[in-house]
Structure 1
Amino acid sequence: METQEIHRGRLIDHIQLVVRDLPASQKFYAAVFEVLAIPMGGTGEGYFWADELFVSTADSEAAQGVLTGRHHLAFQARDRAVVDAFHKAALANGGADNGGPGERAYHPGYYAAFVLDPDGNNIEAVHHGAAQRSVPSVKITF
């Protein structure tokens, strides 16, 4: 078995979205992940994944033939410029505006943008303002 490396946060291990049009979703997510500096993890017949997000067609065994409903996913951005670039890339690659870049009242410094992906999921990029992380992610090697 080849050694693999993944990075994880603390709460979510993974999320699966089941989509109608896999190529449209892959174009959308590849563009926003490039802006967010998140590498695509892999692709296969009827699916692709990046970090904790697994996206598949309804034909995949894990989907059991059912599309997912409308979800809200928020991706972390390293700064405000990345939030702005996320919004622009999403709109240029099949996304629809659901709230342009700007400060939100959730807490001081909360800067975010919202788009709808090709399946109507509410996708957000957020920068929480000045903060210090102990590490960028948890590195898991197996």
Structure 2
Amino acid sequence: METDQLHRGRLIDHLHLIVEDLPKCLKFYQAVLGALNIPMGDIADDHFWADELFVSSKDSHAALGQLTGRHHLAFHADSTDTVEAFYRAGLAAGGTDNGAPGHRPYHPGYYAAFLIDPAGNNIEAVYHGPSHRSAASVEVKF
């Protein structure tokens, strides 16, 4: 693979968050992922998952009794309306505002909203605008 290319959606295989209050986190993630049209996978007493995101209690076999630290996780959104739906759903499900929906200066067209989930993680939904391809290779010159 060339080092001067970004391959959006191919860097991370999965992310595991280990949280103190799994039921509160489940409510939050069901709401925000639903707003993003991302279906839930398995839901069990000690974990749940959706696509590349796996969330478990510290008592789960996968956690080994340790909580993860604070993370910043950004989900792809397919429109500014979806970013706004994510934000409203997350607030209603126990999330805390960490940046209302709006344009950001990261690049032209970057539209995002930020919430703190019940475990203290900074969770973002971002729409990169119609000129950015979310799952395609994008050449970057250094």
Does the pair score TM above 0.5? yes
In the TM superposition, what is the alpha-carbon distance from 1:34 to its structure 2 partner?
A: 0.6
In the TM superposition, what is the alpha-carbon distance from 1:62 to its structure 2 partner?
A: 1.5
Show the counterpart of 1:13: 13
**In 2, Cα distance between equivalents of 1:39 and 1:60:** 22
Deviation digits for residues 29-83 of structure 1 (CA, Å, limit 9, x no counterpart): 0000111000001112300000000000001122110011100000000000000
| Superposition TM-score, scaled by structure 2 size | 0.86
In the TM superposition, what is the alpha-carbon distance from 1:131 to its structure 2 partner?
A: 3.0
| Superposition TM-score, scaled by structure 1 size | 0.86
Show the counterpart of 1:78: 78
Q: Is 1:60 aligned to residue 56 of structure 2?
A: no
Structure 1 residues 134 and 40: alpha-carbon distance in aligned structure 2, compared to 1, 3 A threshold: closer
SS of 1:31 mapped into structure 2: helix
**In 1, Cα distance between equivalents of 2:134 and 2:119:** 35
Show the counterpart of 2:108: 108
2:128/2:134 contact within 8 Å kept: no
Q: How large is the RMSD of aligned CA atoms in angstroms? A: 1.7
Percentage of identical aligned residues: 63
**Structure 1: 5+ residue runs without aligned partners?**
1-8, 137-142
**In 2, Cα distance between equivalents of 1:134 and 1:74:** 12
The one-letter code sitting in structure 2 at the alignment partner of 1:97 is D
The one-letter code sitting in structure 2 at the alignment partner of 1:99 is G
The one-letter code sitting in structure 2 at the alignment partner of 1:31 is A
SS of 1:91 mapped into structure 2: helix
SS of 2:69 mapped into structure 1: coil
Structure 1 residues 122 and 132: alpha-carbon distance in aligned structure 2, compared to 1, 3 A threshold: closer
Structure 1 residues 132 and 69: alpha-carbon distance in aligned structure 2, compared to 1, 3 A threshold: closer
The one-letter code sitting in structure 2 at the alignment partner of 1:17 is L
Structure 1 residues 61 and 72: alpha-carbon distance in aligned structure 2, compared to 1, 3 A threshold: same
2:76/2:134 contact within 8 Å kept: no
Structure 1 residues 58 and 134: alpha-carbon distance in aligned structure 2, compared to 1, 3 A threshold: closer
How many residue pairs match? The answer is 129
**Structure 2: 5+ residue runs without aligned partners?**
1-8, 137-142
SS of 2:99 mapped into structure 1: coil
